[in-house]
Structure 1
Amino acid sequence: MKPQSMLFTIYGDYVRHYGNEIWIGSLTRLMGEFGLSEPAVRAAISRMLRQGWLESRKIGNRSYYSVSERGKKRLEEAAARIYKVESDLWDGKWCIASYNIPEERRALRDQLRKELGWMGFGMLTTSTWISPNNLADRIKELTEAHEITEYVEIFSADHLGWSDPKQLVQKCWNIEEINAKYREFIDAYRAEYEALGEKLSLREEVADSHCFVEKTKLVHQYRKFLFIDPDLPLELLPELWLGKEADELFQNYYQMLNPGAVRFFETVYEGAPH
């Protein structure tokens, strides 16, 4: 697990619910539970400061770190998708983003592609990306933030031919690969979930630190689906779709680990003095 990615998970699942700010000593202690050294944690924090995800302030000789506005937005979007409720019925519309960014701004073009993929868009052609979800406002924000509105067009459209909607999905996303990843997730966590359930039913002691580590790893692994699962409406999914089974396993295991994980976090967490 990369330190920077782990920091995102800890901020997203814990720190943002506790005033969004944490003392670096608490952070290094929490990250130490995963075998990460203090220099590795500090290096990851420095990278996130440079990239604009974190902000810092000093009180006396102590440093405190909080998530920037940009980081908060990303964490809120991620949380809305990870802990989502049932999707609405699909209205049959496709959100389309088409761009023509000049070669000298190639880095921005690559960044836009990454962001589109993260939002759940699929690539129909090299510079035309589609989603069955209404993401027009998100695209507007993104293109305004990167100052590339002159190179991007956004549409909400009906698809008139020639593929049927499920064929269109197959062209833009590798559904089999996503399903295989869900199968891996289920295989990796089903036994752990059942073993913990048995321990708890027998009233065996489970260390809070164990719950913290396992819950954080669980969220960390499940968060990866944000980058590959486009969150398609039910109507567009194949009959054999493992996303729902994986989601149920995630939610149940999460709820089982959460009380101990939170207790452990609270024993280590120190925010800034008021």
Structure 2
Amino acid sequence: MVEQHTPRSLIVTFYGAYGRSFEGPVPVSALIRLLGAAGMDAPSVRSSVSRLKRRGFLVPARAADGSAAYELSAEARQLLDDGDRRIYGQPAGGAGAAAEADDWLVAVFSVPEQERHKRHLLRSRLARLGFGAVAPGVWIAPARLYGETEHTLERLHLTPYVELFRGAHLGFAPTAEAVARWWDLTALAKQHEEFLDLHEPALRALQSGPEPTPEEAYRGYLLVLDSWRRLPYADPGLPRALLPADWPGDRAAAVFAELHARLRDAGARYAQQ
């Protein structure tokens, strides 16, 4: 299996992993070199930077030497801060999730027909946050996603259409059966297995081989993080007690955690050079 990494996604991943620690804006020339180390050519990087600028993720600035540079917008920083809690926090379906098995966040929304484009936007953003669909206009997620959900709805000016509730599932089907309806667990398991197929061999090579150079660590970490950061959104850390006994999310989270520990700081040395 060959994994595809787009320049735009890798730029977002770079800022999430390393770009925020730079002193001042990141020069365009540095972005081109740093993304080049991950296999991206200069025209693709420039084009993707322009798209991220139009979307309000990056803001034009000047580096200390006066050269063209970019920094994160305030909204992008909030987005990455929320992402940190999701990506590096409680592993999907981990032990800590068991304590929240009865604690759910429910989003109920109603959008007038003349604004149905906002209905589509609401559905797509709730799905991207990891919500499962209970019924038309009723979506559910683990309660700990409240803060990130609030930030997202506020950023998109969707709060007038949504009410949020927090509470327990009281019936009538067993909660594990209901969860299997609200989320496509087969598809989620397949995503975890694909991550393992791609990155577990790399971990075994690190465990048995020599220490990677800073550039190798940087490249490896950027690519594994670009793969991993989507998984905690597709699988929002559902309570472990409600998942199948052989759930592959446990192993996927453990593989990412060890790759993070082995590669992240070594890669930072390369990024800062």
- For residues 196 and 140 of structure 1, the distance between their equivalents in structure 2, rounded to whole angstroms, comes to 40
The equivalent of 2:220 in structure 1 is: 214
The equivalent of 2:142 in structure 1 is: 132
Aligned 8 A contact 2:61 2:68 in 1: yes
* Cα distance change, pair 250–11 in 1 and its aligned pair in 2 (3 A): same
The equivalent of 1:271 in structure 2 is: none
Which amino acid is the alignment partner of residue 133 of structure 2? M
Q: What do the CA deviations read for 1:56-89 (whole angstroms, capped 9, x no partner)?
A: 1135651121111111111111111221146351
- For residues 253 and 23 of structure 1, the distance between their equivalents in structure 2, rounded to whole angstroms, comes to 28
Unaligned runs of at least 5 residues, structure 2: none
Q: What do the CA deviations read for 1:163-195 (whole angstroms, capped 9, x no partner)?
A: 111111101101122112212222222222111
* Cα distance change, pair 242–26 in 1 and its aligned pair in 2 (3 A): same
Unaligned runs of at least 5 residues, structure 1: 268-274
Of stretches 163-172 and 59-68 in structure 1, the one that deviates more from structure 2 is: 59-68
Report the TM-score when normalising by structure 1. Answer: 0.87
The equivalent of 1:4 in structure 2 is: 8
- For residues 6 and 159 of structure 2, the distance between their equivalents in structure 1, rounded to whole angstroms, comes to 34
> Is 1:22 aligned to 2:26, yes or no?
yes
Of stretches 80-89 and 113-122 in structure 1, the one that deviates more from structure 2 is: 80-89
The number of equivalent residue pairs is 263
Q: 2:258 aligns with which of 252, 255, 265?
A: 252
Of stretches 170-179 and 128-137 in structure 1, the one that deviates more from structure 2 is: 128-137
* Cα distance change, pair 26–159 in 1 and its aligned pair in 2 (3 A): same
> Is 1:187 aligned to 2:191, yes or no?
no
SS in structure 2 at match of 1:98? strand
- For residues 270 and 202 of structure 2, the distance between their equivalents in structure 1, rounded to whole angstroms, comes to 20
Report the TM-score when normalising by structure 2. Answer: 0.88
Aligned-pair identity (%)? 28
* Cα distance change, pair 145–188 in 1 and its aligned pair in 2 (3 A): closer
Q: 1:58 aligns with which of 46, 59, 62?
A: 62
* Cα distance change, pair 129–39 in 1 and its aligned pair in 2 (3 A): same
SS in structure 2 at match of 1:87? helix
Q: 1:143 aligns with which of 145, 148, 153?
A: 153
- For residues 136 and 80 of structure 1, the distance between their equivalents in structure 2, rounded to whole angstroms, comes to 12
